[in-house]
Amino acid sequence: MGAGAKHRLVFVDRLLATLVHLRHGVTHDVLACWFGVDRSTITRAVGEVRPLLAERGCTVSPDVRLRTLADVVDHLGASGTTGIIDGTEIRVRRPAAGRKDRNKFISGKNKQNAVKSMVVTDAEGRVLWCSPARPASCADITHARQLGLVKLLADGPAVEILADAGYQGLGAQTGGRVVTPPHRPLRNHRPGNREITINGERSRPDGFG
């Protein structure tokens, strides 16, 4: 181990690292681990290869810069693209004892200390925007409302955004622009679970009451 010549990042590897960085937004630290080199080597490689790609027309369009959630909604409306929203949680170290907002970081879903962000992608899974992180005790739908998504969709262009059951209720508030799975009926409200009263005693028509 350690004998022989030092690892060298050849041009093909530099090109591949640059393309992965531009396409997927992979950090230089991760690329350095993948290719077994130092982070500065990746940074230098990306800086050398990007001008070469630009000379051959492989550039990012200068008019597509989605910096805010409003920019994302306008982009989806102008391009007629379906969007997808979801909340993601990242586990964090428990805040120090005595901190007044210590319990705000406890996630009701995962029962652990975490921070939460809302991510917006297009139908092909390309990330368009990620919100700032906040304590994970906030529900997904509440987080979306606090970010102003309801107002942007209600007053903005006609777009379609897919979401999971955690965002049920946004569809009615946005004129149907947010599409979520239908509500599941409660067990006691299903037709086979209805109770009837016979001679003062409760019974279920399925014979289990």
Return the higher-pLDDT residue of 93 and 5.
93
Query: What is the per-residue pLDDT across 113-165, written as a single tens digit (0 to 9) for each?
Result: 889 999 999 998 888 999 999 988 888 999 999 999 999 999 888 899 999 99
Q: Please tell me whether residues 87 and 132 are part of one structural domain.
A: yes
* Mean confidence (pLDDT) of the chain: 83
Would you say residue 60 lies in a domain? no
Query: Tokens 């230089």 sit at which residue?
Result: 28
Burial of 185 by CB count in 10 Å (0-12 exposed, 13-18 middle, 19+ buried)?
Answer: exposed
Please state the domain count of the chain: 2
pLDDT computed for residue 208 by the predictor: 45
Backbone phi, then psi, for 201, in 5-degree steps? Answer: -110, 140
Whole-number Cα distances in Å, 102 to 131, 132, 202: 21, 19, 47
Q: By C-alpha distance, which of 23, 22, 45 is closest to 32?
A: 45
DSSP for residue 99:
-
Contacts of 135 (CB under 8 A, 6+ apart): 101, 104, 105, 115, 116
Q: Which domain, by its residues, includes 134?
A: 69-179
Query: What is the per-residue pLDDT across 15-53, written as a single tens digit (0 to 9) for each?
Result: 999 999 988 888 899 999 999 898 999 999 999 999 999
Q: Please tell me whether residues 27 and 82 are part of one structural domain.
A: no
